[in-house]
């Protein structure tokens, strides 16, 4: 569902018409005013215009009921506005749970949030911890409310950490942790995190994961906990992936002969 919709938009982009769609949607739905009002009191640059339009238009079209967002900000306002329009125009009663780890940013976001949209949002503060899934380790939010989510937007936590002066990229495992507890399929949009998307593609049996480098967005289309591979399968699939992309040699390296 999400893959088909957003694939269509990317195809339009390749045909030089996505820009037209984005500009038209952006102004017809007054996203420009929302963003200007929010940004004038914030020093964040936020997401791209394409990201906002894809996020808002998807929620308007498919009307998810329980949305979870990792990392709060302008995107939270965009999601809440789409829920507000769904409620007023279509009678769909959706809600957003958004999770943030930075206390100062959390408080500023609450202060900047448009008053008419507050009723749609449950804003949560949670610290970042290291969690494991099988042989993988990633940055995750410590506390995620147990709800019946059907759509997730992933824009946090940070997947970078420092080892001395060296900046190292990690992954986030929050989507997998939520999926394990869910009894229904979940669709998701993930911003930029290519490495995380690659890992998820190894952990899930469904071929419903796509990363569009053109706009740096990943899409997960209606995956469920039944699609998660078992531990032994995970290792086997990782090894197969290495076989597909790596020249494996079992003889002694030439420089020690």
10 Å CB burial of residue 111 (0-12, 13-18, 19+) is: exposed
Helix (H) / strand (E) containing 35 = helix 31-39
Q: Read off the tokens for 133.
A: 């899934």
Please report the pLDDT score of residue 257 as a whole number: 35
Q: How many CA atoms lie within 13 A of 177 on its CB side?
A: 23
Please report the pLDDT score of residue 71 as a whole number: 92
Domain boundaries, the chain: 2-232
What's the alpha-carbon Rg for the chain, to the nearest Å?
20
Backbone dihedral angles phi then psi of residue 23, each to the nearest 5 degrees: -60, -45
Q: Taking each helix axis from N to C terminus, what angle separates 31-39 and 18-28, rounded to the nearest 10 degrees?
A: 70
Question: Which residues are paired to 97 by β-bridges?
Answer: 68, 122
Smallest CA-to-CA distance from 180 within 122, 136, 135, 229 is with 229
Please identify, in words, the CATH class of the domain defined by 2-232.
alpha beta
Q: Read off the tokens for 24.
A: 């038209």
Answer whether 35's CB lies under 8 Å from 62's CB.
no
E strand segments, the chain: 66-70, 95-100, 121-125, 128-133, 136-141, 151-154, 160-163, 166-169, 186-191, 209-212, 217-223
Cα separation of 218 and 238, whole Å?
20
Query: Would you write out the chain's pLDDT as a tens digit for each of its 257 residues?
Result: 555 555 555 555 555 667 788 888 999 999 999 988 888 777 666 678 888 988 999 999 999 999 999 999 999 999 999 999 999 998 999 999 999 999 998 998 999 999 999 999 999 999 999 888 877 888 899 999 999 999 999 988 877 666 677 776 778 889 989 999 999 999 998 887 878 888 888 788 766 677 776 677 788 888 888 888 765 555 566 656 555 544 444 444 443 33
Q: Read off the tokens for 87.
A: 């409620």
């Amino acid at each position: 569902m999400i893959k088909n919709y957003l694939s269509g938009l990317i195809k339009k982009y390749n045909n030089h018409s996505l820009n037209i769609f984005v500009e038209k949607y952006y102004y017809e739905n007054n996203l420009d005013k929302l963003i200007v009002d929010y940004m004038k009191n914030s020093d964040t640059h936020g997401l791209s215009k394409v990201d906002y339009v894809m996020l808002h238009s998807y929620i308007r079209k498919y009307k998810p009921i329980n949305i979870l967002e990792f990392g709060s900000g302008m995107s939270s306002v965009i999601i809440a506005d789409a829920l507000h329009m769904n409620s007023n125009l279509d009678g769909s009663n959706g809600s957003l749970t958004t999770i943030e780890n930075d206390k100062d940013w959390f408080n500023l976001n609450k202060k900047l949030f448009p008053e008419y949209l507050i009723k749609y949002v449950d804003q949560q503060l949670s610290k970042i911890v290291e969690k494991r899934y099988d042989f993988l380790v990633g940055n995750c939010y410590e506390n995620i409310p147990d709800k019946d989510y059907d759509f997730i937007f992933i824009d946090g936590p940070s997947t970078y950490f420092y080892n001395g002066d060296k900046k190292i990229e990690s992954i986030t495992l929050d989507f997998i942790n939520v999926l394990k507890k869910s009894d229904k399929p979940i669709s998701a949009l993930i911003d930029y995190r290519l490495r995380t998307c690659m890992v998820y593609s190894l952990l899930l049996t469904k071929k419903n994961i796509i990363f569009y480098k053109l706009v740096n967005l990943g899409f997960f289309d209606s995956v469920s906990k039944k699609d998660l591979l078992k531990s032994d399968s995970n290792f086997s699939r990782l090894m197969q992936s290495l076989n597909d992309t790596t020249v494996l040699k079992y003889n002694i390296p030439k420089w020690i002969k």
